[in-house]
Structures are given as C-alpha cells and as structure tokens.
Amino acid sequence: MATTPDVLTVGEVAAFMRVSRETVYRLATRGELPGRKIGRIWRFPKGAIQEYVEGKSVVGHAGREAQGRDPTAADSDDDEQRLPVSTGALEP
C-alpha cells in the first residue's frame, strides 16, 4: 500500500495546485505559500498546502517574518512608481 509523503516537493505542489513550478517558487519566496527552504531546496508540508488551497491557511513557515521582511510592508513592485517616459524632445 503506497502512502503519500507528509512533505511535498516543488513539483508535487505545482501538480497538486495545477500551476507552474515558477508560480510555486514565486509564492514560496514571497512567503505567501507555506513552506521551508532546506539548504537550497524548498519543501512544503502537505497539510499546510491543502489548507492553503482551501483558503484556510495564513503565511507559512518561510513567511516574511522568517525572511527578515516586515510582514506589513508592501512588496516593492506593489507600490512601484512609474517614471515619465521621455519623448526625446528637449524642453527649453
């Protein structure tokens, strides 16, 4: 009888959520997906991923706090200010 592991890889999470591996990496790096980096490899607790998908989970083990970020601070690309585009014409 085969059992499913309690800890999932990036590929397994991507397949379970039906998203790309890149999406899993992005969500995990931002602290939006419950998971933990062990060395250079991400691992995700199966129960926490199931809760995340069902909308029951909050920031995971490697959340903004664990990454040294202020959890209340906005992401840099969220509040990115746009600079005016130059038309090439010189103003007097």
Checking if the pLDDT of 81 tops 60, the result is no
Q: How many CA atoms lie within 13 A of 38 on its CB side?
A: 8
Residue 50 contacts residue 14 (beta carbons within 8 Å): no
pTM: predicted TM-score of the whole model, two decimal places: 0.58
What pLDDT was estimated at residue 56? 78
**Strands of 7-8's sheet, edge to edge?**
7-8, 41-45, 36-38
15-73: per-residue pLDDT in tens?
A: 999 999 999 999 999 999 999 999 999 999 999 999 999 987 555 444 444 444 444 44
Checking if the pLDDT of 83 tops 90, the result is no
Domains of the chain, residue spans: 7-53
Residue with tokens 């746009």: 82
Nearest-CA neighbor of 63 among 35, 23, 21?
35
Residue 21 contacts residue 12 (beta carbons within 8 Å): no
What pLDDT was estimated at residue 50? 94
